[in-house]
Structure 1
Amino acid sequence: MSTPLVSIISVNYNQARITCEMLASLRQITYPNMEVIVVDNASPTDNPDIIKELYPEVNLIRSTKNLGYAGGNNLGILQAKGKYLFFLNNDTEVETGFLEPLVNFFERNPQAGIASPKIKFYDSTNIIQYAGSTGINPWTGRSKTIGNHEADLGQHNNSISTNLADGAAMMIPMEVVKKVGLMPEIYFLYYEEHDWCEMIKRAGYSCHYIAESAIYHKESMSVGKMSVLKTYYMNRNRLLFIRRNLTGKQFYMSAGFFFLLALPKNSLMFGLKRQWQHLKALWSGLFWHLQPVKVHQNIAYTTTNNQ
């Protein structure tokens, strides 16, 4: 088996201890040829020095400002040397042999553009979080994850072509990034990996779920299930994804669903629960779209666009 260099990229924000737990699991893997890049997104209350102290082999990049999920990963991409890039959430841990199935798949399939492993919940290791995706529903503008919250009884043990990778863990060949461009930073948080998948597919590449590889996700440790930040970006970026990727009938269906059903329903829910900050965040995300923003602008990969 060939062992090309894999660059593992992870973003840290105020979670150095959690990141170190992820790095500890990476030290146990069997793949022999990798570099690990951690981008600290200008953590204001947590000193990332412990990462370098405990894991001196890691390339720790310090951003001078919080660039968001996409921007942080892009900073890592620009310093990566690998043939393959593997993006890994810092609130994850991996199985020792998780990289080999992914690398083997890409080595055999040059038209593959992006792939994610099986993702399971860290606290319930037999419960699946991700085993592929049916893609974005043209009515709702939301994605449906295959296998989510199912017990892992072997029903998703076959690798398949799928519509969307999962941003918690995904591999992309460097050559694909050079062709399609960097992760779209306009999202800042949420939906950016979905948009990137659409960019990759439009360039003629395919998206895959690799069942033989597995990682474990400590979901919602980095943002929180009901955070105001999540309310803002999930709603703002849902509409942003619709604007960037859907056209014609699909655009009007998704936009209509959002404005006529999702927006009134969520507004009523937050109002009845007296969650005024969430209600404000919901509408702030909507008003963002009234600004003169170049929503279709992407970032090309070049050797000179270091941030």
Structure 2
Amino acid sequence: MKETAVVILNYNGEHYLRTFLPSVIKNSPGCEIVVADNCSNDGSVKYLKENHPEVTLVQLTCNHGYSAGYNEALLQVKAKYYVLLNSDVEVTPNWISPIIALMEKDPNTVAAQPKILAYDNKEYFEYAGAGGGFIDKLGYPFCRGRLFLDLEKDNHQYDDEVQIFWATGACLFIRADVFHELGGFDPDFFAHMEEIDLCWRINNAGYSIAYSGKSTVYHVGGGTLHKSNPRKTYLNFRNGLSILYKNYSRKDLFFKFPIRLALDWVACFKFIFFDSLQDGIAVMKAHWHFFSNHRSNFRKRRAVQKRIKVRKLETIYKGSIVFDYYIKKLKKFSEISF
């Protein structure tokens, strides 16, 4: 068993494997490289077998999506640390050791992420993770280097190492025993925001999550679902409600959850009248499916609430990022009063 396993979940991503896998192999000495194939029907498996026999291939029986796909694949990977890496990520030399060193130094730090820059515009942060993730009091996610769709230029302002609330699933370092201890990702999420849900449970369990600007990777983004795809909107809104319902305290569920529901409907009407009818319909479907699965959601909430050890989390922003961004017109992380 090697200390670190880099695990890439692949679905019909032969073009990404050809482009980015060689850099992962070259820049990850001493690590096991695993590709978990989510039942691709392109040439991914053939490419791996013919060109990269040094890579461990795990073949899943169907397309489980990101969440359940990783859950199943990681049962077959033995390592102290997992690095869950998207197939559309270019890594750099020495991208692993600074983060593993950070996690080894503090055993309570059980998950982490590197600096995430955009592959197509390498001077700027990338949407999925940027300089480390946070949420506000209403559960809206944002990052250092990215508020909603505004991305900052990388001027080395986030070359530090800090505690964060969530680490991106595009490049997630996590202790294997903690991943399994907390039940992994919620398999019902399929994809999108599953890492925020897991990270909230990590925080609730009394562990911490870190960001290291000493490691850098470049992410294409939108490799599975482009941001303009209504399916992505549906998953983000549905999974966002599930995250809050499971992890909010009873008080927050009573006072804050209705506000979040109302803001979702504001977004829905904005989509319909100003942006995309299909995205508006996607929000409606997300709410319908969330409430129609109330029994399953209640069982999950009860299970999560029983395991909470820490209620007050300092990495949750006490303000509203929606208000700061849309009303106060704050466009950079450094401008908000965290």
Change (3 A) 1:119 1:92: same
Q: What is the CA–CA distance in structure 1 between the aligned matches of 2:153 and 2:280, rounded to whole Å? A: 35
1:251 to 1:44, Cα distance in 2 relative to 1, 3 A? farther
Equivalent pairs: percent with the same residue? 28
Q: Which residue of 2 aligns with 1:263?
A: 265
CA contact (8 A) 1:242 1:254 kept: no
Q: Distance in 1 between matches of 2:171 and 2:59?
A: 22
Q: Match for 1:182 among 181, 184, 188? A: 184
Distance 2:296 2:243 in 1: 13
Check the 8 A contact 1:14/1:44 in 2, yes or no: yes
Change (3 A) 1:268 1:185: same
Query: For 1:97-119, what per-residue CA distance to the aligned partner results, in whole angstroms no more than 9, with x for missing partners?
Result: 10110111122111111100111
Counterpart CA distance in 1 for 2:221 and 2:240 is 20
| Mapped contact 1:113–1:201 kept (Cα < 8 A) | no
Preserved contact between residue 9 and residue 35 of structure 2 (Cα < 8 Å): yes
CA distance in 1, matches of 2:125, 2:91: 14
The AA in structure 1 aligned to 2:98 is P
Match of 2:59 in 1: 62
Give 1:291's aligned residue: 293
- Structure 2, unaligned runs of 5 or more: 305-338
1:35 aligns with 2:16: no
Q: Using the TM superposition, give the Cα deviation of residue 5 of structure 1 relative to its aligned residue in structure 2, in angstroms.
A: 2.1
The structural deviation recorded for 1:292 is 4.6
Give the CA deviation at 1:48.
Answer: 3.1
CA contact (8 A) 2:60 2:73 kept: no
> Which of 7, 10, 14 in structure 1 is aligned with 2:8?
10
TM-score by length of 1: 0.88
Ranges in structure 1 where 5+ consecutive residues have no aligned partner: 300-307
Question: 2:66–2:190: 8 Å Cα contact kept in structure 1?
Answer: yes
| Corresponding pairs, count | 293
Indicate the SS of the match to 2:98. helix
Higher helix share: 2
Q: Which piece of structure 1 moves more, 55-64 or 158-167?
A: 55-64
Contact 1:228 1:278 in 2 (8 A): yes
- 1:12 CA displacement: 1.0
| Aligned mate of 2:121, from 120, 124, 136 | 124
Structure 1 position 199, deviation (Å):
1.4
Kindly report structure 1 stretches of 4+ aligned residues shifted beyond 6 Å: none
Q: Is structure 2 residue 140 aligned with structure 1 residue 138?
A: no
Q: Secondary structure at the match of 1:36?
A: strand
- Using a 3 Å threshold, how does the CA distance of structure 1 residues 174 and 269 change in structure 2: closer, same or farther? closer
Q: 1:233 to 1:293 in 2, by over 3 A?
A: farther
1:74 corresponds in structure 2 to 71
Q: Which amino acid is the alignment partner of residue 77 of structure 1?
A: L
Q: Structure 1 residues 61, 247: closer, same or farther in 2, change over 3 A?
A: same
> More displaced, 64-73 or 286-295?
286-295
Deviation at residue 233 of structure 1 after TM alignment? 0.4
Matched, 1:95 2:92: yes
SS of corresponding position for 1:186? helix
- The separation in 1 between residues aligned to 2:221 and 2:269, in whole angstroms, is 25
Alpha carbons of structure 1 residues 292 and 262: separation in structure 2 relative to 1, 3 Å: closer
For residues 16 and 124 of structure 2, what CA distance do their matches in structure 1 show?
21
CA apart distance, 1:4: 5.6
Q: C-alpha offsets along residues 257-299 of structure 1, whole Å, 9 cap, x if unaligned? A: 33323223323423555x4433332222111121354225479
- Give the superposed CA RMSD: 2.1
The residue aligned with 1:220 is 222
**Post-superposition CA distance 1:44-72 (Å, at most 9, x none):** 45553212322111122222221111111
Give yes or no for the alignment of 1:114 onto 2:83: no
| Matched position secondary structure for 2:213 | strand
- Aligned 8 A contact 2:14 2:43 in 1: yes
Write the letter of the residue equivalent to 2:55: V
Q: For residues 141-163 of structure 1, what are the alpha-carbon distances to aligned partners after superposition, in whole Å with 9 as ceiling and x for unaligned?
A: 21110112222112111101111
Q: 1:45 to 1:112 in 2, by over 3 A?
A: same
CA contact (8 A) 1:39 1:75 kept: no
Deviations 1:174-216 (A, max 9, x none): 2222332222212111111011111112222111001111110
Task: Report the Cα distance in structure 2 between the residues aligned to 1:224 and 1:28, rounded to whole angstroms.
Answer: 29
Task: Output the CA distance in 1 between the equivalents of 2:252 and 2:219.
Answer: 33
TM-superposed CA distance for 1:16, in Å, is 1.3
In the alignment, the residues of structure 2 paired with residue 42 and residue 255 of structure 1 have an alpha-carbon distance, to the nearest angstrom, of: 38
Q: What SS is found at the alignment partner of 2:79?
A: coil
181-190 vs 250-259, greater mean Cα deviation: 250-259
Q: Is the 8 A contact 2:115 2:212 kept in 1?
A: yes
* d(CA) in 2 for partners of 1:279, 1:48: 38
TM, length-normalised to structure 2: 0.80
User: SS at 2:228's partner residue?
Assistant: coil
The separation in 2 between residues aligned to 1:92 and 1:287, in whole angstroms, is 34
